Amino acid sequence: MIKVERVDCPNLLKWNEIPQKEGEIETRDSILFFNDISNHNSKYQKMGIRGARIKESYSAYSDKTVRKVLKEMFNGKCAYCESKISAIYNGDIEHFRPKGGYNDMSGQPLINPGYYWLASEWENLLFACPFCNQTNTQEIFDGINTREVVQGKLNQFPLLTNTYRLNYNDGNNYINDKSEYEKAFNLEESERLLLKPCTDIDVEKHFKYDDLGLIYKNAGLNSLEENRAETSIKVYALQRLGLIQTRKEKVIQIKAQIRRVEQALLNYNKYLDKSEEENIWFEGILRDEMKILKAFKNSDQEYAGLARYIIEKYFNAFII
C-alpha cells in the first residue's frame, strides 16, 4: 500500500453547483430518507425521474466518469494491495466508510444505517480489487501454514473503541453544520484502525516485507500504528497466498536488478583509471541499470511499496 495523491473531484460529485449535481441530490435525498428512523433497516432507493420507477440505490458514485478518474488516480492498481486490476477486471469502486451498513469485524451483525451520507463523497471513494474489497474464502499464509479463512473488507470499518463512532445524526450535520461534523469526524479518525492510501501520508512506514513476499507490521511503530498495520493486513487480506506469490516474484526481479547495479558498479570502478572512452561507457551502463532499479519504486508500478522498502533497505545498509 502506498500514499496516493487525490486528484480533483469529478464534476458529478461536486457540491453547490447550479443546477445541483447528481451526487449532491442523492446525498440530500438519502439524508431525508434516513432522518426517518423507521427507514434505518431499509435500503435507500432513489426515486426515478417523475417517480416512474425506483432506481437502484446510490448511482452517482458508480458513473463511468467517476470510475475513469479513480482508475487513473490509482494507475489501474488496487488501493490496498497494489495489484494491477485492469487487465482482468473492471475494478470495484470502494467506499472506505461503508455506505449501507458496517461491522467491526467480518461475521458480526451489520449495523444499519452505515455511512450513507458518504456514498457520493469523493474523499470516501477508492479503486480496489475484489480480493481486498469483497469477502471471499481465501488461502492465508503465515509463513509456515496455509489456512482457508474468510477475509476481505466488505462492510468492515473497525475503530479502536466505538466512543466516537459517527451515527445517522451525523448525516444531518454533514450538510447543516460543517464545523460540528468535522469535529466529530476527526474524533472518529483518531480511532480509525484501517489505513487509507489517500489520507495517511505515512501509510508506507507501517509495513515491512520479506524475501518470500510476506507483509508484516514494521518495526518502530507506536501501539496504535501497530494496531492499524495488523488490522489492515487482516481486513484487506494482504497475506493471501496468491498475492504473496506475486510479491515474491517482484522481490526476485528487484534483487536481480540490484545484482546488475552491483556488477555495473564493479566494472565502473575497475575501469576508472583506464581510457576516458571506457569510463564513459561503464558510467553509462551503471546509470542505465540504476534507472531500471529506481523505476520499480514508481507509483504506477505494481507493489511499489514493497519495492521502496527493499531498495531503501539495500541502500541504507551502506550508510553507517
Question: Which residues of this chain interact with Zn ion, rule CB under 5 A?
Answer: 78, 80-81, 129, 132
* Shortest distance (Å) from residue 74 CB to Zn ion: 10
Cβ-based burial of 215 (10 A; exposed 0-12, middle 13-18, buried ≥19)? buried
Nearer to Zn ion, 79 or 311 (CB): 79
* Shortest distance (Å) from residue 237 CB to Zn ion: 8
Nearest to 251 by CA among 303, 201, 181, 174: 303
Query: Beta-carbon neighbour count of residue 283 at 10 Å?
Result: 15
Nearer to Zn ion, 120 or 232 (CB): 232
**Set of cell numbers at residue 55:** 432506481
**Set of cell numbers at residue 190:** 483518531
Half-sphere exposure of 269 (CA within 13 A, CB side): 6
Nearer to Zn ion, 80 or 303 (CB): 80
* Shortest distance (Å) from residue 305 CB to Zn ion: 12
* Shortest distance (Å) from residue 296 CB to Zn ion: 19
Nearest to 120 by CA among 23, 14, 22, 19: 23
Looking up cell 532499479, which residue turns up? 293
Nearer to Zn ion, 21 or 234 (CB): 234
Contact status, residue 211 vs residue 256, Cβ threshold 8 Å: no
Strands 146-151 and 207-209: unpaired
Nearer to Zn ion, 27 or 83 (CB): 83
* Shortest distance (Å) from residue 140 CB to Zn ion: 14
